[in-house]
Amino acid sequence: MKTWRYLPYSVFTGPENMAIDESIMELMKKDNSNQPVLRFYGWKPAALSLGYAQSYAKEVDEEACREANIDVVRRPTGGRAVLHQYELTYSIIVPESEEHVKGTIIKSYLKISEALLKGINAVGVPAEIVAQANSSHTGTAACFDAPSWYELAVAGKKLVGSAQMRRDGILLQHGSIILHFDTELLFSLLKLPNEEVRQRLVNSFKAKACALDEVWTRPVTIDELEKEICLGFEEIMGIKLVPAVLSKEEKLMTEQLVKKYNSQEWTMKR
């Protein structure tokens, strides 16, 4: 049975989290005999993360973020803004040739979603896989605004938001499993023309997205959720997860990459 490295839940700043994911990816590029990695993490302080292509100048209210003590970080992956506050974040870094994720992006999303679904269903949440994106949806700057290909939803409301990138034969996908949404705070951090528009978007967002505490049958801890998702990955992928820590090389590269993710040049590049 193939083994993957499993990095248990730890809490870092936004720049540290993005730097760790990228460092694992970069070192796997240099030696793709390295084991695939499944990692879980949290964010402290809370952070607003932007997709790689989003405009900082057009979409982020700097003053509001500063007043609310919310960090802003740009992800290396695409997608829209996510407020990382009360959540379990996962990341998967794996060679594209890996049996269970090889093929198209859509195929790999499906396989990963099946593993996540197994764990989320196991804690009593009636989620299902959304099989097709709403192509007519224009959306807002916020993620979770609508489900996309093979993401998880409950009664049509998006539950898990994920983003994927591929570079030199390595796949990185990370995503947020939200335990509780502070929707008003999220939209207070985004630039919008007026309060009427803001409230309309808040109401629309609440109708299209949900957090675990809105749909669970009983309260679920991060530890329990992480454990069940690990079991889901082992079953769906046919792998064994082996607890691990960052290697010396990963720690050193993370220290270098944190400088990039902390820089205005990176965060405000668009």
Q: What is the mean pLDDT of residues 231-246?
A: 96
Token pair in block for residue 267: 């965060």
For residue 135, the model assigns a pLDDT of: 45
To the nearest 10°, the Cα dihedral for 209, 185, 21, 154? Answer: -10
Locate 72 and state its tokens. 């802003």
Which residue, 8, 77, 4, is CA-closest to 41?
8
* Interatomic CA distance for residues 11 and 42, integer angstroms: 4
Q: Which residue has the higher pLDDT, 143 or 85?
A: 85
Between the two ends of the chain, the Cα-to-Cα distance in Å is: 44
**Considering 65, 143, 210, 230, which one is annotated as catalytic?**
143
Task: Summarize pLDDT for 101-157 with one digit per residue, the tens.
Answer: 888 888 888 999 999 999 999 999 999 998 765 544 445 545 444 445 678 999 989
Q: CA 236 to CA 247: how far, in whole Å? A: 27
Q: Band of the pLDDT at 34, cuts 50, 70, 90? A: confident
- Gap between the Cα atoms of 61 and 191, Å rounded: 5
181, 163 Cβ separation under 8 angstroms: no
Band of pLDDT at residue 161, cut at 50, 70 and 90: confident
So what's the pLDDT on residue 195? 94
143 is catalytic: yes
Name all domains of the chain by residue range, CATH numbers in brackets: 2-267 (3.30.930.10)
Instruction: Report how far residue 208's alpha carbon sits from residue 192's, in angstroms, rounded to the nearest whole number.
Output: 19
∠ at Cα 10 (8, 12), nearest 5°?
145
* Mean pLDDT computed over 16-31: 95
What is the residue-wise DSSP string for 228-249?
HHHHHHHHHHTEEEEE----HH
Alpha-carbon distance 30 to 235, whole Å? 29
Read off the pLDDT of residues 163-215 as tens digits, 9 standing for 90 and up.
899 999 999 999 999 999 999 999 999 999 999 999 999 999 999 999 999 99
pLDDT (mean) for 21-36 = 89
Strands 160-167 and 170-180, sheet pairing: antiparallel
Per-residue pLDDT, 25:
96
Contact 117, 125 (CB under 8 A): no
The pLDDT value given to residue 76: 94
CB 210 within 8 A of CB 127: no
Neighbours of 236 (CB within 10 A): 18
Q: Round to whole Å and give the CA distance between 143 and 80.
A: 5
pLDDT at position 33 over 90: no
pLDDT recorded at residue 144: 45
DSSP character for 194?
-
**Strands lying side by side in the sheet with 82-84:** 71-74, 47-50, 82-84
